[in-house]
Amino acid sequence: MKSLYEVSALVFIGLLIYGFRVPILDRLRRFDQRNIARQRQEMEDRRDRLAHYKHTLQLAQEQVEEIGEIKVTDERTGGPVTRYLFEGETFAARDDAEAARNEKIVAKAREFYMELPGALAARSKDKLN
């Protein structure tokens, strides 16, 4: 009787896997595509002298919040207008908000490079001792 339950469980698991094979295979394909793209990017980065700076800017960009859109009433006309919100500051044009966001990203990247010599010095002290 025990082996009947085991065989039934195996058949049921097999049916579940077969039923969900398309989503599982799609996820595996996407994982493989991301992995291939990452490896290709690493190969390109080895040839690019500025790759470190690009990665630093990407990392800083991930740490800065996105620009939000809000609908408010215009003071002059009373009609609805779109305003752009970045770090609590409201901008009339998206370009102005993007410029403020880019300034923040560059400032974060500069901060990283200003702290880098101290971090590398502390790291080398640990290796020497």
Pair 68, 111 in one domain: yes
Q: Which pLDDT tens digit goes with each residue over 93-114?
A: 999 999 999 999 999 999 998 8
Residue 126 pLDDT: 63
| Domain that residue 31 falls in | 1-47
| pTM of the predicted protein model | 0.64
Pair 71, 30 in one domain: no
Q: Could you give the number of structural domains in the chain? A: 2
Pair 76, 127 in one domain: yes
Amino acid at 96: D
Give the pLDDT band of residue 128 (cuts 50, 70, 90).
low
Pair 43, 56 in one domain: no
**CA 105/CA 29 separation, integer angstroms:** 33
**CA 38/CA 123 separation, integer angstroms:** 28
